[in-house]
């Protein structure tokens, strides 16, 4: 095997490894990036725990409580949260 073939083999191995990594990351991406404002504590249910978790974050000014994504943690977030929570919605 000459030098060029050696480099080609290494490049091909890296590309295969990268393809596997991309497939693994893509398999987790939908779950990781789904916004589920109604299930605020992400326990799989829509219940009082979500309300407690949302208001704890909201009162602390936590940017995660900015569920309407307007750049502020304010009263507008409460309406968006309760709409999602009451409907059992992931936005």
Q: Which two tokens stand for residue 1?
A: 């095997």
| pLDDT for res 31 | 42
Full-model pTM = 0.61
Query: Within this chain, do residues 44 and 76 fall inside the same structural domain, yes or no?
Result: yes
Query: Within this chain, do residues 70 and 53 fall inside the same structural domain, yes or no?
Result: yes
Query: Within this chain, do residues 41 and 64 fall inside the same structural domain, yes or no?
Result: yes
Stretches where the chain sits below pLDDT 70 are 11-34, 91
Query: Within this chain, do residues 47 and 66 fall inside the same structural domain, yes or no?
Result: yes
Q: Of 49, 44, 46, 37, nearest to 77 (Cα)?
A: 37
CA dist., res. 52 & res. 83, Å (int): 16
Q: Alpha-carbon Rg of the chain, whole angstroms?
A: 22
Mean pLDDT, the chain, rounded, equals 78
| pLDDT for res 30 | 43
Query: Within this chain, do residues 11 and 52 fall inside the same structural domain, yes or no?
Result: no
CA dist., res. 84 & res. 22, Å (int): 32
Judge contact between 81 and 38, C-beta under 8 A: yes
| pLDDT for res 88 | 86
């Amino acid at each position: 095997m000459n030098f060029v073939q050696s480099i080609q083999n290494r490049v091909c191995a890296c590309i295969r490894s990268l393809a596997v990594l991309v497939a693994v990351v893509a398999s987790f991406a939908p779950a990781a990036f789904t916004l589920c404002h109604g299930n605020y504590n992400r326990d799989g249910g829509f219940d009082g725990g979500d309300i407690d978790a949302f208001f704890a974050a909201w009162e602390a000014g936590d940017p995660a409580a900015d569920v309407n994504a307007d750049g502020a943690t304010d009263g507008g977030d409460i309406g968006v949260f309760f709409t999602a929570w009451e409907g059992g919605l992931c936005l």
